[in-house]
Amino acid sequence: MPTWQQLRDARFTKYEGAADGWGKVSNRADAARIRVDQEMAASIHTTQKGEAQTSAERDLTQLGRNYHYLYGECGLIRTTLNGLAAELSGEQKKLKQALDDAADLKFTVNEDGSVEYPRSTELPMAPGASSGTGVAKSGVLFRTCLVRARRTETPTRAGPRTSPNASRKR
């Protein structure tokens, strides 16, 4: 599992470039399949007879299937790499926003991902201590804390409430 530092520093153009390469291979395999199916098989059908024709057509049919399989698999790899880059770049933006929020609030983000806030030098509620003020900044860090707080406050149910005795037969 990557660390938050690796996600922050990642460059996803490598994945997109690799996806483009797999797309080219996929397109070449499709072009080869079309050539085998339309050009080569057609010429075998008109120029060959008997067992040679049957054997060559069978081999060309299998070759066309192989190219079709290659075309599909390369397309899946291309789609996976593009999806990975898109998904991780979205998470990277969220992480960078949270880091910016933490920096704006003078919080320290440690190597392990834990967050420390500035410590007060005054004892709370001590005689002569000034009352503090707080400012909430709307950002990813604040919204994340707010969403987590709401999740713990609001119970969820999966269906209508029933009495514990409702399932008993009378």
pLDDT digits (tens, 9 = 90+) for 97-123: 999 999 998 888 888 888 888 876 766
pTM, entire model: 0.60
Structure-block tokens of residue 161: 């409430």
For 166, the enclosing helix (H) or strand (E) is none
Position 18 confidence tier, pLDDT thresholds 50, 70, 90: very high
Position 124 confidence tier, pLDDT thresholds 50, 70, 90: low
- Tell me if 117 sits within 8 A of 107, measured CB to CB: yes
The residue to which tokens 């080869």 are assigned: 32
- Residue 70's identity, in one-letter code, is L
Burial (Cβ within 10 Å: 0-12, 13-18, ≥19) of residue 122:
exposed
Burial (Cβ within 10 Å: 0-12, 13-18, ≥19) of residue 70:
middle
- State percent of the chain over pLDDT 90: 49
Residues 153, 34: Cα–Cα separation, whole Å: 61
- Domain residue extents for the chain: 4-91
**Comparing C-alpha atoms, which of 15, 19, 22, 21 is closest to residue 74?**
22
Residues 59, 65, 68, 69, CA torsion sign = negative
Position 129 confidence tier, pLDDT thresholds 50, 70, 90: low
Position 155 confidence tier, pLDDT thresholds 50, 70, 90: very low
